[in-house]
């Protein structure tokens, strides 16, 4: 018997996403299995159209409004595209300051994702009602949860509502209590990460300090110490709370090392510039590259094409982003998300992709060893990164690496020197800004004519991951990851929710 299961809207993500699952009941086992999935972006925004005719220096401010969770990544991609178009390079202080702002955004985003978006699919929030101890934090949490459940409060009064009613949560009360306590602590740590980003970013979530060549303002000892004080608390949380909690969840749900597999191809543009350069050949802290069929290859952005056969756009299909357009066609296709492909292949982007590129390419040996040790502790191999738990583990390891690297960047800053340089706007030019948002590969393509933006195109992480089928009928990464999943209760398809949220979708970005 076939059945359609719909998750709409899928909650605890950014933007409006609907998941349609075509399921079939296996006659021998009675299990409900996903045979086909559709990932549907349900809105259109048109920011690329808004940018046409604007001053190029407006771009880093307007593109930050693509998303409230990862605005810095968009701002940095924009200034990198401008640097190439203007024929200029970042200053040393400017590059490092940009890295620190983006790093703080990563730390905020990864902690937000695990505790406040994804963990609620694994943690039984109602277990706190059984707590009868005297720890003031847990007592307050118990009272807060009881009040929320009694009144059926909606977000922001109770961000864990609505919840899936199922028996597929952590079974041990103590583990639930610890993770619920971490949930509350993570709210403070996220605040510290935002404050850290604002030290050089001026304000968050949309920084006003990002400019081509760096950031506005001088590097002062007060700013450095302000960053360091917050960073130490964030690092302690990552090492002592976040990573142990990841392993608690993984040990309780080991089957999710085998659930949620995409096609197994991975793409990273690289992130956190380690030299005063721009373009796809720049040396990054987390490296660039592609992994196709288990083999690493250097990044070549000429292989990127966008397809729209099943997207709600009437523009030509199969265009490189230099020629891309976003002409809306609301009665066409099933998603407002395009279908980007790399050398014709469906690619997964994000933390798992960055880890795979790191491990199979010319990555840092110490970081490779961290991955090997973590996988050995979980009793799995590298290929298991392509899974629900693999994506969560990759975020945790990244948070550790990035937080530790921030100390080095702070020590490298030159006190008393500016973090940007003067430059002139050219009459014409073109540039691409390639970086990685926390969710994955992010590219901005910019063309300037008569001192104004002629064309602006973005391909963002969730465009890759949540793409619909392409012109050849290949499903997107999330659609593929859902295929073959066993759904215990079609009325409460928590398994599908866990898979989709492991990608941390941002539909506000994907439909830009």
Query: 161: buried, middle or exposed (CB in 10 Å: 19+, 13-18, 0-12)?
Result: middle
Which residues fall within 8 angstroms of residue 56, CB to CB, at 6 or more apart?
A: 82, 85, 86, 425, 446, 448, 451, 452, 453
What are the tokens at 96? 């490092």
DSSP codes, 433-473: EEEEETTEEEEEEEEEETTEEEEEEEE-HHHHHT----TT-
The answer to whether the CB of 420 falls within 8 A of the CB of 285 is: no
Cα–Cα distance measured from residue 225 to residue 247, given in angstroms and rounded to the nearest whole number: 32
Residue 374: what pLDDT? 98
Closest Cα partner for 93 from 197, 200, 219, 216? 219
Residue 326: what pLDDT? 83
Query: 465: buried, middle or exposed (CB in 10 Å: 19+, 13-18, 0-12)?
Result: buried
Beta-carbon-side half-sphere exposure of residue 102 (alpha carbons within 13 Å):
30
Residue 155: what pLDDT? 56
CB atoms inside a 10 Å sphere around CB 2: 9
Residue 158: what pLDDT? 67
Residue 157: what pLDDT? 63
Distances (CA, A) of 438 to 300, 430, 489: 21, 26, 32
Q: Which residue has the tokens 């604002």?
A: 198
Largest distance between two CA atoms of the chain: 72
Instruction: Go through the domains of the chain in sequence order and give each one's CATH number.
Output: 2-124+169-510 (1.10.645.10)
Closest Cα partner for 269 from 149, 423, 445? 445
Distances (CA, A) of 316 to 252, 463, 472: 47, 17, 15
Q: Cα-atom radius of gyration of the chain, to the nearest Å? A: 22
Query: 431: buried, middle or exposed (CB in 10 Å: 19+, 13-18, 0-12)?
Result: buried
Average pLDDT, 10 consecutive residues per value, the chain (512 residues): 89 90 88 96 89 97 92 98 98 98 98 95 93 91 88 68 84 93 94 97 95 96 98 98 96 97 98 96 97 98 97 95 90 96 98 98 96 97 98 98 98 96 97 98 98 96 98 98 96 95 92 74
Strand blocks (E) in 224-324:
266-273, 284-292, 295-297, 304-307
Report the run of H or E that residue 23 belongs to, with start and end: strand 17-25
First to last CA, the chain: 38
Cα–Cα distance measured from residue 301 to residue 80, given in angstroms and rounded to the nearest whole number: 15
Which residues fall within 8 angstroms of residue 84, CB to CB, at 6 or more apart?
A: 278, 279, 429, 430, 431, 432, 433
> If DSSP codes are grouped into helix, strand and coil, which group holds residue 318?
coil
Cα–Cα distance measured from residue 248 to residue 175, given in angstroms and rounded to the nearest whole number: 8
> If DSSP codes are grouped into helix, strand and coil, which group holds residue 413?
coil
Cα–Cα distance measured from residue 244 to residue 374, given in angstroms and rounded to the nearest whole number: 11
Residue 163: what pLDDT? 79
CB atoms inside a 10 Å sphere around CB 449: 13
């Amino acid at each position: 018997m076939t059945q359609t299961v719909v998750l709409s809207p899928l909650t605890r993500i950014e933007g409006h996403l609907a998941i349609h699952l075509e399921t079939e009941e296996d006659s021998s086992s009675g299990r409900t299995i996903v045979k086909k999935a559709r990932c549907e972006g349900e809105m259109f925004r048109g920011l690329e159209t808004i940018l046409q005719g604007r001053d190029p220096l407006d771009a880093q401010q307007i593109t930050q409004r693509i998303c409230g969770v990862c605005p810095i990544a968009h701002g940095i991609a924009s200034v990198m595209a401008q640097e190439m178009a203007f024929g200029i390079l970042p200053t040393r202080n400017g590059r490092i300051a940009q890295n620190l702002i983006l790093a703080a955004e990563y730390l905020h985003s990864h902690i937000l994702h695990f505790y406040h978006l994804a963990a609620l699919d694994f943690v039984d929030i109602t277990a706190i009602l059984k707590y009868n101890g005297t720890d003031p934090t847990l007592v307050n949490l118990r009272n807060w949860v009881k009040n929320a459940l009694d009144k059926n409060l909606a977000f922001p009064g109770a961000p864990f509502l609505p919840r899936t009613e199922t028996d597929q949560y952590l079974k041990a009360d103590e583990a639930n209590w610890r993770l619920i306590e971490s949930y509350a602590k993570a709210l403070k740590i996220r605040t510290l990460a935002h404050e850290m980003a604002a030290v050089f970013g001026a304000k968050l979530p949309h920084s006003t300090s990002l400019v081509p060549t760096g950031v506005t303002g001088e590097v002062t000892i007060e700013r450095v110490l302000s960053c360091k004080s917050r960073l130490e608390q964030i690092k302690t949380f990552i090492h002592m709370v976040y990573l142990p909690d990841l392993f608690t969840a993984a040990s309780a749900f080991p089957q999710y090392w085998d659930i949620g597999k995409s096609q197994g191809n991975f793409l990273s543009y690289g992130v956190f510039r380690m030299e005063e350069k721009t373009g796809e050949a720049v040396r990054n802290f987390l490296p660039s590259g592609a992994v196709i069929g288990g083999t690493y290859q250097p990044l070549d952005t000429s292989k990127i094409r966008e397809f729209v056969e099943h997207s709600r756009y009437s523009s030509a299909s199969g265009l490189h982003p230099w020629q891309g357009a976003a002409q809306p066609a609301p009665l066409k296709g099933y998603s407002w998300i395009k279908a980007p492909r790399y050398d014709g292949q469906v690619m997964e982007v994000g933390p798992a992709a960055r880890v795979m590129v790191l491990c199979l390419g010319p990555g840092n040996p110490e970081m490779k060893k961290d991955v090997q040790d973590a996988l050995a502790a979980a009793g799995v191999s590298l290929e298991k990164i392509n899974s629900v738990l693999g994506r969560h583990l990759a975020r945790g390891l990244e948070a550790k690496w990035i937080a530790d690297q921030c100390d080095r960047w702070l020590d490298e800053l030159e006190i008393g020197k500016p973090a940007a340089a003067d430059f002139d706007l050219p009459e014409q030019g073109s540039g691409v800004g390639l970086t990685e948002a926390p969710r994955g590969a992010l590219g901005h393509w910019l063309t300037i004519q008569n001192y104004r933006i002629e064309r602006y195109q973005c391909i963002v992480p969730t465009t890759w991951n949540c793409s619909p089928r392409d012109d050849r009928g290949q499903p997107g990464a999330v659609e593929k990851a859902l295929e073959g999943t066993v759904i215990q209760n079609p009325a409460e398809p928590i398994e599908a929710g866990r898979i989709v949220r492991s990608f941390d979708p941002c539909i506000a970005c994907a439909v830009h």
